[in-house]
Structures are given as C-alpha cells and as structure tokens.
Chain A
Amino acid sequence: MNENDVMMLKTPFHSRVEAACEINLWGNWMGYTTPDAYFDVELEYFAVRSTTGVFDLSPMNKYRISGPDAAHFLDRMMTRNMHKLAIDRVAYVVWCNDAGQLMDDGTVFRLAENEYRLCSYAKANDWLYWCSLGFDVTITDETAEVAALAVQGPTSCSTLTAMGLEGLEELKPFDIRNYRFDGEILSVSRTGFTGDLGYELWITPSKAEDLWDRLFEAGKQFLIKPFGSHALDIARIETGFVQAGVDFVMAQDLIRPGRSRSPLEMGLGWLVDFEKTHFNGRRALLKERETGSRYRFVILDVDGNKPADHSFILKGDKQVGNVTSAAWCPTAKSNVAFAQIEMPYGEFGEELTAEIYYERELHWTRVLAPCRVLDGPVFNPGRRRQTPAVAF
C-alpha cells in the first residue's frame, strides 16, 4: 500500500482551492477532493453569468493519443468525422459501443499533426485499449500530468488578457492557442461547460499554483470568483449540456438490458456523421435511423418554479418519460428539465405534464405542472460565439 493512496487525491491547485473554499463544502470527483461550493452556490453561479468564474478542472480524465494512426483511431472511435479537425482545434464528441449505445461524451483537442488529447467524463483506459487494436497509436493517461482550470463568464477574456494573454480575443470558439508561462507552455482553448464566453487553461502541475495566483490577481478588477460543482450544474442545465452518468447511463456500466441510449435518442444525432463509412456503432445507428428510435431527449419548460427533479412525465394519464436533470435557471428565468420521453411523444411544442413532488417544512406536495417541449436550450447568448470576444 502506497501511503499516498490512502487519502483522496488533491489537484495541483489544492492549496489555493482550499484557501478559497470558505464554506468547506467538499465532494468527490473522480477520486479527487473538489469543492461542491466555495462561498455561496447562487453567487458563484452569477459570477459565471455576470463576471468571471473559475473552476478547477484538473480531475477531468485526460488521455494523450499520439502516433501515425492517431486520427484514424479517433475517427473509428468517435461518431464525428475526426479528419476534419484541424490542428489547434477542439471538437465535442460522443462515442458508442458496437450496439450504437452511448459510452461517454468528451472533447478532443488536436495539439499537433499526430497529437491529440481526449478529455472524457468517465475513465476510458479499458475501452481506449480495445479501440487501439490494429492502430499504430500510443495512448497515455495524462490525467495527473496536466492541471486545468475553466475560466468562464463575460469578463473572462478581459481577465486573461490582463494576465498577459495577448490577442486572446481573436480566438474563435473551439480554437486553441499556446502561450508562454514561466518557461512552460500555457495552452488555452475557447471551450467550457457553462454555455457562456469562456476558456479552459492547461498547464503542467508545477506551475498550477502560480497560474491560479496570477489569474486571480489579474481578474480582481473583473470581479473573478471561483465556483464549485453545484453552480456548474445549474449553468450546464441552463445551457442544455447533458452529462454522462446523469442524463444517460454509460453503456459500459449497464446492468439492466435496454437502459442505455443511443446518440440519436439523446438529441446528439448532429454529432453522428453517417457519411463516414466506418465508426464504432455505425451499423446499429444506421439500423436505428431506419427503424426508429425508442426514446427522445427533450428540454422542457416547466410551469411554476418547483424544479422537476426525478419527476415522471405524463401525457394525459400515461407515463411517457422521466426527468434526468432539472433546475431553476436564474438567468433565463426558466424552470428547465431534461427528460427522456418514449417515442413518439416529445415532439417540439408538445404539451406534457410533469409530476413533481416537493417538500416545504417536512410537508410533501404533489403538483402536476404543465410543460412544453422546447426547441433548444433557454440560455444561448451571442457573446458565447462572438469573435473577437467582447470585453464584458
């Protein structure tokens, strides 16, 4: 037994995170001690939407994929066409098992000609190994070798520019640009999980604390704040991002037959490139496209202000689905729920009912809240895409 393994792991930013975590509310993310909240969930959320929020992303699983076949390897594994991904670009991806069922989602960073980084929600060492058979690629788990921060919100570009990252405003969404930082490379990508203007910073762990300090120093005038996983959850629901393990069961974890979902069933059909002649799950997905899906992923606008967590979704008296994520969205002023609806229900505009249970002073109330199927997320600001990036 390695004594270091007894405790939960600490990220390279831990000393700073610990100091900033005023209310001492901690959680476990991938075996790392990470804050659920730093000072106040609601205020942290508003930092992301109004100024700049910083989230320690280090526990995210990161795999380096390199070698002559790296692009081919990724193209076979992912449903998207990975040959289209240019150097210094990032792509949001999902991947499936042979049966066309979602295993996970993540992002692929093309760092150089034959160099990629895959960030995945769940650990993927096993599946990456099986996917690598027949390819000339090397796959390295570099989770612990790369420290990462998400810097998100309207003033994030101003903050980072103030820190000395010149020309950052020219970075388009999903672009990557490398800067020098104390003799090391600081890699910046215009990506994030909040649906707002934002960046992710990647650096070697030895420079992590310095980066944190310089970032917060530079961001002071732009009202920078750290935020924890609870605030992130509100932001991602508001902007329509699904989360593996929450909004769908990862196929490799499945125990009960039939409970996994395909990308088409999760509203992620736009990530599936059927023009590609070979990728994992293609045969099954083609068949699904012909014969129809079993479920539909919908974003619901629910009447009232009671979050529809874990609610049943009804059509008349018939139960047609379940809510997987729900939140009151403070910026959009909407009561949003993600739900899985049995086909053929859940078309855009359809009126459904959410069966919500909520508690006030130990008193449980059941409400049947009317809800409507939306055609997209309730929060999708122009500044998210605008280039050059806006100052505020």
Chain B
Amino acid sequence: MDKYDVIVIGAGHNGLTNGAYLAKSGLRVAVLERNPYIGGATVSRELHKGWFYSNCSYVCSLLRPEITRDLELPRHGLQVVPYGGGVTMMRNGDHFGNYHDHDRQYREMARFSKRDANAYERYAADVMKQTRLIRPFLLKRPPDPTSLKLRDLKDLAEFAGAFLDMGEEGLADTIRFWTKSVGDYLDEYFETDVIKAHMAGSGIIGTALGVYSPGTAYVLLHHYMGDVDGNVGEWGFARGGMGAVADALAKSFQSFGGEIICDADVDQITIKNGKTTGVALKNGNEIGAPIVVSNLDPKRTFLDVMDPADLPEEVIKKAEKFKIRGSSGKLNIALDGLPTFNNLPNDSPLRVGEMHFSDSLTRLERAYDDWKDGTWSKDPYVDMLIPTQVDPTMAPPGKHMMSVFVQYAPPKIEGEEWTDADKDGFEKSVLDQISAYSPDFKDLILHCETRTPREIEAEVGLTEGNIFQGELTFDQLLFNRPFPGYAQYRGPIKGMYMCGSGTHPGGGVMAAPGANAAREILADLKRPDIIPGGYADD
C-alpha cells in the first residue's frame, strides 16, 4: 500500500491549497517541491542580507477570501495590508495620481478633464458589472459546453442564465468587453491620455499583447475582480512579502497532517495500465500514490514530466499549442533609503501605491512593438512599488525594498537565449526610466536582482517565465483553460489532475484553481465537497 493517497507536484500557492483541502478531507497528501524553499512564484527570499524580496508575485488581491477564511490563513500568519491608489509620472514633470479616496480621485481627474472624472463613474460601474458576472464562477469548475452530463448542463444553464440576465444590450456589451482591446475600451470613456495609460497597464501585465490588441480588456478585468476586505478592485501587500501567503497555506496544510517534501525534483509521473501510480524523482527515488496532481504549467505537465507514450496525441498537440509566452521581467531592489520623486512629496499617499512611468497609450504600444521584434522594451511599462512604506518586516529600519514589475521582456532575444549582456541592457532600461523621475534613485541602490523570463523559468519553473501559467486571453479562459476538453482539472489519465494557474480561473495568486481541482478529486473519490462556494451577490 502506498504511503500517500495523493502527491501534489509543486509547492506553489495552488499546490498547497489543493493539498490543504485534500488533507482536510482526510487524505494522506505529500506536496513535492523542486526548490529547497516552498512557494513557487508566491515567495519571499532574502537575497540581500536583511532584505526580503517578493521576487515574483508582489501584490495581493485576487486570493479568494472564501479560501482565506476557510483555511484560516490569518490564524496561520497571513496579514494583507491594502495600499491606496497609484501614480503615473509624466514626461512633462506633472503626474496623474489615482487616489484611493473617491473625492480626491475625482478632483485629480478633473484637473485633467472634468468629463473624464465623471466618466470614471460610468467606467467603474461598467467594469463592476463584468466583475460581478465573473466572480461567482471563480470558485466553480468551468462548465463543459460540449458535454451532455447533467452536472455540466446545470452548470451551463447557470452560466448562461447569468449572461442572459444582462439583457440584449448588456450581453452584447459583455461580449464586446471580452473581445476588445483595453485601449479601445478606455477610449470609449476617457479623453486624457495619461488617465488611459494609468488604467491600461492592468490590461497588459503578464500578457504578450499590446494595449490595442483585442482581448486585453479581459486582462484588465482579471486584475479588477479581486478585493481586499470586500473592496472590489483594491490591492494590498502581504505583510512579510508574498511568501507569507505560501507560508500560511503551508501551515494550514500541515495542520491537516499534510507533508511537504522540498528538494524533490519530479522526473516523471508514472503510469501503469492506464492508471497513475505515483512519481519518479530525478534522484532515482519513486513515490507511489494513486493520485498525482500537477501544480506545474500545462506545458511542463504534459511535455516535461509525462511520457508522451502515456498521452493521447491530441493532448500533446494541445499542450504544444498552448500559449504561455513570456512577456515580463522583474527587478527587486534593496535601497539605502526612500528615493525622492520629482514633484511628489515623500509623504504623498500616492507613493505607497503602484508607480508607473508610461504616460500615453502610444508609449505602451511601442513597448509592445519591441517585444514583437524580439527584444526588451526600451521604454518599458513598469509597475513599481515600495512595500516597505507600510510593511516594516521586509527591510531594516529606514531602508527600503523596491519591487519593479516590467513589461515587456521576450522569452528569447531575437530568437536566441538571453545573455548576461542582454540582462544588463534590460536592467539598464528599467533603472534609467525610473531615475528619469528620481534623481537620487540610482545612488540608493544597494543590491538589484534582475529577473528576465530566463531566470523566472529556471528558478520557478514557469515556462517562458509566463506569470499566469498561460495567457489570460479568451481563447484560454473558462472551458478553454488550459485547453478545451481538459478544463475540469482532470488529466487524460485516471488519477492524474491539474491544479495550477494554467487551469480555470487562471493566475494572479487566487488559489482558486487549487481549490477547484480539490473539489473534482474529492468528487471522483466520492468524498463530501468541502470546498467553499463564492459569496452570494458579490
């Protein structure tokens, strides 16, 4: 008899969530992690003594509150602190501040355009309509539109019902929203370029598309549908860095008897007679279990840790065609002090939120052109935060940690692997951009960790360094995620499942894929469903 009922490959947040629910149900679960530390891309690492970097994911909003409560993550140490708003620095020396406070936000927008300030309310209501439509389906498996099974038909009816409730024009608007570019969408509301540019960033983060590429409006929505304490669309910092999310999940998992095994690099999922039998590790060990759940991305799952002979050809083809293009990089910087920014007082609340330096949609689109040409953006879009302004645990007192997310960085440079010189060039373009608005920034840098898609793939194991484990375009969402026919977390082989962000509802540290996958596994084992559903009338 096997020592474990379930093996989960990968101790990312979804693997841990999945393991936690299965362990809570009474199963014997081991989560295997290749690295000596857990978390996957939800991690805090001390790469410079005294500084803890959230060196992959860096902010928190999408983590399902139902899971946070159900797995008692606050009791296990998770604390999420919201931050207010953000700012886009402008080339003309001005800036646009996206204040957290409604009236201040209105006044700031009105400084550029009173119409825009008022149109923002229409924009917020319209985005909220879409958010409300999608949120109830985050903690559900996607319905299979081609299935005639009762449960699928019921799911589908519920899904269709939610859409039909919107009325003819509402439904048309929804379809348009899902197929539109974020640039075109924002053009329908706003006239001021910097306001559009500030909003548009959310539409391209982690995505190999430009602001005028259809499909990016949904990506914007994806970043809008989370909440902090019920404030939909708000983002926060995990105190101690994003590793705090993984740590809390790990403690929750362990409290249910789950085991985490680090330095366990899986070579292959073993299959016998069409059934999953466990995993073989790179060090030669084998661990048996009738159920294996992969938290890896779909390409790694099917093309790396599985034997092609075990798989139907169509699955291999689909995995090959799966779009998981690398498009982002990251700089994590230890600072000797708080940098000053032109015309932005050090105590401005705007500095606590995200800072951007792209003040027009044209600049964002040109940044994408560089990616298409196989090079990093010379004038990149950056999403920069200094969490140590509200979280004292990530750097020594008086010192600061800066997290800089960078769009775009291609997986390869003009078809060739990244070289260290390329990496330096990439780093320079980012540092130059920030220092153009902050004269003392460069002098304050004590240490800088630069991660191109090459590093992200090598360390975290995300193919091409894609942060969402696969692009969040409509062709890869819902019942198409990761690909049609396999969107309900079950792999093509009995006993094999998927629980990563490559499955519905996707990436962004939601933990929903892990929980949804656990529900399907428990259903197959005829065990009671212990996964929470979404809150009503969100």
Contact = CB atoms under 8 A, between A and B. Distances in A.
The majority secondary structure among interface residues of chain B is helix
A122 to B, nearest CB: 8
B128 interface: yes
Most buried by B among A123, A124, A141, A253: A123
Contact of B115 (A5, A8, A125, A252): A125
B152 to A, nearest CB: 25
A255 B104 contact: no
A257 B108 contact: no
B4 to A, nearest CB: 46
A126 B118 contact: yes
Interface string B107-139: 110010011011101100100110010000000
B118 A1 contact: no
B103 A28 contact: yes
Most buried by B among A8, A123, A126, A253: A126
A31 interface: yes
Given A1-B108, A1-B348, A31-B107, A125 B95 contact: no
Given A123-B118, A125-B117, A125-B118, A257 B170 contact: yes
A129 interface: yes
B137 to A, nearest CB: 17
A9 B103 CA distance: 9
A255 B125 contact: yes
B166 interface: yes
Contacts of B165: 257
A246 interface: no
A391 interface: no
A365 interface: no
A253 B104 contact: no
A5 B118 contact: no
Interface string A119-163: 000011110010000000000010000000000000000000000
B519 to A, nearest CB: 28
Contact of A5 (B107, B119, B121, B128): B107
B344 interface: yes
A123 B114 CA distance: 9
A126 to B, nearest CB: 4
A2 B111 contact: yes
B95 A1 contact: yes
Given A129-B115, A252-B121, A253-B121, A1 B103 contact: no
A257 B166 contact: yes
A254 interface: yes
Nearest to B97: A1
B399 to A, nearest CB: 26
A256 interface: yes
A256 B136 CA distance: 14
B93 interface: no
A252 B119 CA distance: 10
A19 interface: no
Interface of B: 95, 97, 103-104, 106-108, 111, 114-115, 117-119, 121-122, 125, 128-129, 132, 165-167, 170, 343-345, 348, 350
11 contacts: A1-B108, A1-B350, A2-B107, A5-B108, A6-B104, A9-B107, A123-B117, A123-B121, A126-B115, A255-B125, A257-B167
> What 5 A-B pairs come out closest when comparing CB atoms?
A125-B118, A31-B103, A126-B119, A126-B118, A5-B107
